[in-house]
Amino acid sequence: MLTNGDKKRGMTPAEIKAALLLRGISQAEIAEVIGCSRDLVSHVINGRRTTRRIREAVAKALGRDVEAIWPDEIYRRASGRIVKRAGFKL
């Protein structure tokens, strides 16, 4: 359990890639399943892009919740409204 002084720690891009490798899942396979490019999956894993759909696919492939991998992110909804995730500080 986290206390107020603790900071949630997600997974680094290297940890995500290693976990996918251990499960025998490639970024290309994730891309094919959800219908996007492998480059886009790579950009999301490396933190250069943020899409909820791809993060959910990566999390599902790893058997984890999105928040366990990326706990401190914000998302912009289609309406333009920004949704903050727990622990994120502006």
Give pLDDT tens digits for 28-84. 999 999 999 999 999 999 989 888 899 999 999 999 999 899 986 655 555 555 555
- Is 3 inside any structural domain? no
Q: Give whole-number Cα distances, 83 to 15, 37, 87, 88, in Å.
A: 25, 26, 12, 10
- Is 89 inside any structural domain? no
> Cα–Cα distance between 26 and 21 in angstroms, integer?
7
**Pair 68, 59: CB distance under 8 Å:** yes
Q: For residue 6, give both structure tokens.
A: 């603790």
- Asked whether residue 87 carries a pLDDT value surpassing 80, the answer given is no
- Is 90 inside any structural domain? no
pLDDT, residue 86, reads 46
- Is 36 inside any structural domain? yes
**Domain carrying residue 34:** 13-84
**Pair 30, 61: CB distance under 8 Å:** yes
- Is 2 inside any structural domain? no
pLDDT, residue 88, reads 40
Alpha helices in the chain (DSSP H): 13-22, 27-34, 38-45, 52-62, 66-69
The model's pLDDT over 15-24, given as tens digits with 9 standing for 90+, comes to 999 999 999 9
Residue 55's CATH number? 1.10.260.40
- Is 60 inside any structural domain? yes
Q: How many domains does the chain have?
A: 1
